[in-house]
Structure 1
Amino acid sequence: MTDNSSVDATLRALLADVLGLGEARAAALTDDSGLFGELPEFDSMAVATVLTEMEDRLGVIIDDDEVDGEIFETYGNLLAFSLRKVTD
């Protein structure tokens, strides 16, 4: 799954499911949309679930040392991280 649009669609569906955003809110996320600290649903507990779901749905392994707060600042950061993981 190295197609950018399929990774984007998977990530949006994942966020809609895990955070309970619904499809419309997930679809409205832009690269600059804030996540952690901006969306009330995206708390520290959600971070672990999002990472686990990313591994499952994108077929990647995410090591603890790869994860930092910057990844969760914006949707664009999370998407860029996801794209790097699937192309590794």
Structure 2
Amino acid sequence: MNVHDQVLRVLDDALSLQGRGLAWGRETPLLGALPELDSMAVLALITGLENHFGIAFADADLQGAAFASVGSLCDLVEQALAQADT
């Protein structure tokens, strides 16, 4: 399973989407487009991603732009994974 698919699973679980998010593409908008993605859900999503991937995000990386789309969220995770490998 690639990073994109794993991010979608964590996203779907964190937002209780019941499978609706599993087919989303990189361009699918998130922040501002999903009523489920409020401030509390963002915290649940961050925690879920950190736990799932065994990573920790730097505070500076957790800007609104990182949650703009599925693609930007995947990029955030891939960046954290790359930093964890070094």
Q: TM-score by structure 1 length?
A: 0.85
Q: Post-superposition shift, 1:66?
A: 1.5
Task: Render the CA deviation track for 1:38-83: whole Å, top value 9, x for unaligned.
Answer: 0111111111111111110011111212210000111110011111
CA contact (8 A) 1:7 1:58 kept: no
Unpaired runs of at least 5, structure 1: none
Provide the C-alpha distance between the structure 2 equivalents of 1:30 and 1:9, rounded to a whole number of angstroms: 10
In the alignment, which of 7, 11, 15 is matched to residue 7 of structure 2? 11
TM-score by length of 2: 0.87
Identity across matched positions, percent: 30
Structure 2: which 5+ residue stretches go unaligned? Answer: none
RMSD: 1.2
Q: How many residues in Structure 1 have an aligned counterpart in Structure 2?
A: 83
CA distance in 2, matches of 1:83, 1:26: 19
Written as runs of structure 1 = structure 2, the 5 A alignment for 1:25-36 is 25-36=20-31
Greater share of residues in helix = 1
What's the CA shift for 1:13? 0.9
Paired residues for 1:1-88 under 5 Å: 5-23=1-19, 25-88=20-83
Q: Which residue identity does 1:51 align to in structure 2?
A: I
